[in-house]
């Protein structure tokens, strides 16, 4: 039984192809809607996969066999007729000689016979030569027929072998053609996938997605098993929402903010203090270790006085212990730290000592959305020794492309707890959802 599958747009096309390739006796085993393989198939409509089958035909073999069998029978009959003709000629010649020998030995009769034979000698010899020639020709013709019959028998055997070989060769050709067709489809699909992958890479590049992460995004889209056809934006949104983690937990206990210089840690900690104290009505305390930056202490002190919350400046380890002890009655203690270079191992080690002394419940890594993709990985890796458990992304209002949100969240593999969207304290800070971050990345939401 021959079974073949066809991918067609509709059943009319399927029936036409089945009748053309398998014949009118083919039957349809099954049909179902499937998606074309590969990346391109993800964004295209479903097609119909039709499975058809047909029994192997024996009619051609039988007709060939009958043809050669009838030909063989005809040749064999001619061969037998030739033999019978030869036998008959030989028997006639023998009977004539016998009759001549049986004639009576009388002189008168003999004289008449001799006289008659003398008159007919020339005619008889001429007739004998003619008959002899005819007999030789018939014998030669019979021999030729006999040889041809024997040759026909051999030819039939040879033709049978040729038929079998032709059938095998035809089967091999058919399989080779199917392989060629399959290979052509694979090459075509691969080519289409390459074009789609290049197009998607350009799209991700325009979104400022890190080059090292682009292949992972494309592979995730290609491996999607969605029941519906997704367009480019929907597919990217699904990947971004799946890969980005967010934290919706409310802050409590001792919370430390760490990060490189210039990312807005001090302003962010003031926004958090205002949110917790004024909106969530929690008792909040402020501690700063940032004695290096000019104006940092005065800035936080001003915010603390406006919001009427306790404020401490820490320079040594002992002062950190005393400040924590003094704020035991606070629901949340926010600790601001000095910005350090992620490449300076000595400074990072010093900062880690202060963080460990504070014994925090949460460590938040603060990083700017304007950070170059080439620096994000080195910064996050350099601060990994501080064991941060959440990410705060700042300065979304200072950029127009938000691919860095995905880069930071994906490389850090930590949940995003807050994003800052302006300079206003305490308003311009928000707890984002996955959908909101995906909208930022796709350019569907832009901060002016």
Same domain, 108 and 51: no
The residue segments making up the domain with residue 21 are: 2-56
Give the Cα separation of 434 and 237 in Å (integer).
Answer: 9
Q: In the chain, how many domains are there?
A: 3
Is 233 inside any structural domain?
Answer: no
How many other β-carbons are positioned within 10 Å of the β-carbon of residue 367? Answer: 25
**What's the residue count for the chain?**
448
| Whether 419 contacts 232, CB under 8 Å | no
Calculate ∠ Cα 445-375-197, nearest 5°. Answer: 60
Q: Which long-range contacts (CB under 8 A, 24 or more apart) does 200-204 make?
A: 200/39, 200/232, 203/232, 203/236, 204/236, 204/403
Decide if 343 is inside a domain.
yes
pLDDT of residue 396: 93
Q: Are residues 252 and 311 in the same domain?
A: yes
**Residue pair 216/240 in contact by the 8 Å Cβ criterion:** no
- The reply to whether 97 and 16 lie within a common domain is no
In this structure, the strands spanning 27-34 and 47-54 are: antiparallel
| 93 & 31 share domain | no
Final residue in a domain of this structure, among 56, 82, 97: 56
Structural domain contains residue 26: yes
Task: Single out the residue in 191, 224, 255 at which a domain terminates.
Answer: 191
Spatial distance between the Cα atoms of 110 and 361, rounded to a whole number of angstroms: 155
Are 256 and 404 contained in the same domain? yes
- Verify that 273 and 370 share a domain, yes or no: yes
Q: Is there a domain that residue 136 lies in?
A: yes
Whether 202 is in a domain gets the answer no
The residue out of 174, 191, 208 marking a domain boundary is 191
User: Residue 412 sits in a domain of what CATH number?
Assistant: 3.40.50.300
DSSP 44: S
Task: Give CA–CA dist 276/283, Å, rounded.
Answer: 8
Same domain, 314 and 427: yes
Quote the DSSP letter at residue 246: B
DSSP string, 54-73: EPPP-HHHHHHHHHHHHHHH
pLDDT of residue 155: 53
Identify whether residues 394 and 413 lie together within a single domain. yes
Provide the pLDDT for residue 196: 62
Contacts of 117 (CB under 8 A, 6+ apart): 124
pLDDT in tens, the chain (448 residues): 788 888 888 888 888 888 888 888 888 888 888 877 766 666 677 888 888 888 775 434 444 444 444 444 555 555 555 556 555 555 554 454 444 444 444 455 455 545 655 654 555 455 555 455 545 555 555 556 555 655 555 555 555 554 555 566 777 767 777 776 676 666 545 544 544 667 788 888 889 898 899 888 888 888 775 555 567 788 899 999 999 999 988 888 999 999 999 899 999 999 999 999 999 999 999 999 887 776 778 888 898 999 999 999 998 888 998 999 999 999 999 999 988 888 888 999 989 998 999 999 999 999 999 999 989 999 999 999 899 999 999 999 998 899 999 999 999 999 999 999 988 888 899 999 999 999 999 988 776 5
Task: Tell me 314's DSSP state.
Answer: -
| pTM given for the model | 0.57
CB 324 within 8 A of CB 333: yes
The token duo for 432 is 């984002």
């Amino acid at each position: 039984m021959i079974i073949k599958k066809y991918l067609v747009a509709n059943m009319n096309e399927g029936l036409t192809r089945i009748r053309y390739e398998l014949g009118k006796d083919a039957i349809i085993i099954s049909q179902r809607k499937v998606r074309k393989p590969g990346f391109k198939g993800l964004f295209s409509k479903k097609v119909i996969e039709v499975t058809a089958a047909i029994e192997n035909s024996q009619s051609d073999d039988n007709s060939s066999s009958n043809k050669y069998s009838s030909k063989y029978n005809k040749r064999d009959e001619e061969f037998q007729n030739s033999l019978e003709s030869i036998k008959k000629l030989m028997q006639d010649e023998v009977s004539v000689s016998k009759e001549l020998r049986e004639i009576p030995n009388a002189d008168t009769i003999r004289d008449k016979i001799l006289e008659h034979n003398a008159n007919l000698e020339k005619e008889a010899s001429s007739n004998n030569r003619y008959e002899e020639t005819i007999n030789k020709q018939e014998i030669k013709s019979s021999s030729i027929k006999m040889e041809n019959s024997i040759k026909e028998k051999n030819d039939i055997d040879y033709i049978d072998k040729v038929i079998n070989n032709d059938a095998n060769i035809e089967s091999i050709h058919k399989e080779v053609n199917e392989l060629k067709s399959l290979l052509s489809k694979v090459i075509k699909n691969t080519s289409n996938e390459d074009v789609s992958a290049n197009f998607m890479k350009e799209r991700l590049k325009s979104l400022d997605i890190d080059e090292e992460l682009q292949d992972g995004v494309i592979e995730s889209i290609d491996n999607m098993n969605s029941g519906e056809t997704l367009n480019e934006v929907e597919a990217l949104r699904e990947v971004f929402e799946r890969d980005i983690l967010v934290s919706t937990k409310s802050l409590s206990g001792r919370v430390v903010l760490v990060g490189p210089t210039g990312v807005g840690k001090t302003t962010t900690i003031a926004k958090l203090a205002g949110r917790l104290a004024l909106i969530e009505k929690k008792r909040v305390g402020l501690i700063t270790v940032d004695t290096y930056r000019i104006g940092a202490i005065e800035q936080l002190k001003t915010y603390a006085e406006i919001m009427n919350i306790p404020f401490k400046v820490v320079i040594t380890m002992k002062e950190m212990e005393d400040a924590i002890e003094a704020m035991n009655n606070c629901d949340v203690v926010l600790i601001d730290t000095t910005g350090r270079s992620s490449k300076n191992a000595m400074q990072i080690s010093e900062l880690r000592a202060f963080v460990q002394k504070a014994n925090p419940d949460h460590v938040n890594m603060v990083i700017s959305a304007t950070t170059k993709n080439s620096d994000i990985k080195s910064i996050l890796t350099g601060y990994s020794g501080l064991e941060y458990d959440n990410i705060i992304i700042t300065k979304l209002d200072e950029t127009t492309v938000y691919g860095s949100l995905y880069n930071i969240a994906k490389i850090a593999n930590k949940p995003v707890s807050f994003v800052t969207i302006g300079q206003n304290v305490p308003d311009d800070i928000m707890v984002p959802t996955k959908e909101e971050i995906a909208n930022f990345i796709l350019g569907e939401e832009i901060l002016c």
